[in-house]
Structure 1
Amino acid sequence: MSWQLWALVSAVFTAATAVLARAGSAGAESDAAAFMRSVVILLALGAICLATGQWQALRNLTGRNLGLLGLSGLATAGSWACYFRALKTGGAAQVATLNKLSIVLVAVLGTTLLGERLSGVNWLGIGFVTLGAYLLTHRG
């Protein structure tokens, strides 16, 4: 499958994540709910690594890989803790929308830290994402 198709399938799973997390964490403590979700993720990805023969590839990760992935994991934990807290009182559509402002931040960080290049049209799209997030969360 192409990266575009994988990304679209990911979007479907991400949408399901928001709705199921909102429903599943109702009445639960947000950190406990996020922890249980993380346990399921750990087990599922472990099973995928075993099934696809990638378990052995874990040995090939360098110290740099492990350090950066560790920091990424900490960022994910922070993101999920905040996300689940937001879902306790906010609607899934609004919380997920504001969460997707990460798209804007990734564009900025990708260009400044990773040297990625975006065209004028791409930046226009980033502007539309920002405007869309505002419009979707605006109460009026």
Structure 2
Amino acid sequence: MWFVFAVLSAIFAALTSILAKMGIDGVNSNLATAIRTIVVVIMAWGMVFLTNTQSGITAISKKSWIFLILSGLATGASWLCYYRALQIGEVSKVVPIDKLSIVITMILAFFLLHEQFTVKSLVGCILISVGTLLMVL
């Protein structure tokens, strides 16, 4: 089931880039990010109430709160940079560079989460990096 959600995530991420590029024309990138964020907040809280999971908020540990807040700050910074890059650059070049996050995530997962880094994952990281370079040069 995780695979289905991962594929859907990729499809929606692709739509995000195209729709954002189409909508950001003549709009300040920070304002566009704020509008997008409001929509995401409404959707996320809507799902919480739809699935009746709002009572779980009191069970969240202090450690989880800290890391969720840090994750939110990282997401906000990413979105602000992403929208600015989309506004001034070509979507076909911005998106591949943004997807280098895959390589960075795998490296961080190895060092911070002690996840296994195999020959296959190393080759994948190299191919993603080379592919990104080919797409943007």
Q: What is residue 14 of structure 1 aligned with on the other side?
A: 13
Q: What is residue 96 of structure 1 aligned with on the other side?
A: 95
Paired AA for residue 38 in structure 1: T
Q: What is residue 129 of structure 1 aligned with on the other side?
A: 128
Q: What is residue 73 of structure 2 aligned with on the other side?
A: 74
Please provide the CA RMSD for this pair: 0.8
Deviation (angstroms), 1:134: 0.7
TM-score (ref. length: structure 2):
0.97
Paired AA for residue 84 in structure 1: Y
Q: Distance in 1 between matches of 2:122 and 2:6?
A: 20
Paired AA for residue 71 in structure 1: L
Q: What is residue 47 of structure 1 aligned with on the other side?
A: 46
Q: Distance in 1 between matches of 2:96 and 2:48?
A: 31
After superposition, give the CA deviation of every residue in 1:35-65 in whole Å (9 maximum; x if it has no partner). Answer: 0000000000100111112212222111111
Q: Distance in 2 between matches of 1:85 and 1:48?
A: 29
Deviation (angstroms), 1:118: 2.1
- Unmatched tracts of structure 1, length 5 or more: none
Q: What is residue 109 of structure 1 aligned with on the other side?
A: 108
Q: What is residue 28 of structure 2 aligned with on the other side?
A: 29
* Structure 1 residue runs of 4 or more that deviate by more than 2 Å after TM superposition: none
Aligned length: 137
TM-score (ref. length: structure 1):
0.95
Q: Distance in 1 between matches of 2:135 and 2:60?
A: 41
Q: Distance in 1 between matches of 2:93 and 2:59?
A: 40
- Percent identity, please: 32
Q: Distance in 1 between matches of 2:90 and 2:56?
A: 40
Q: What is residue 118 of structure 1 aligned with on the other side?
A: 117
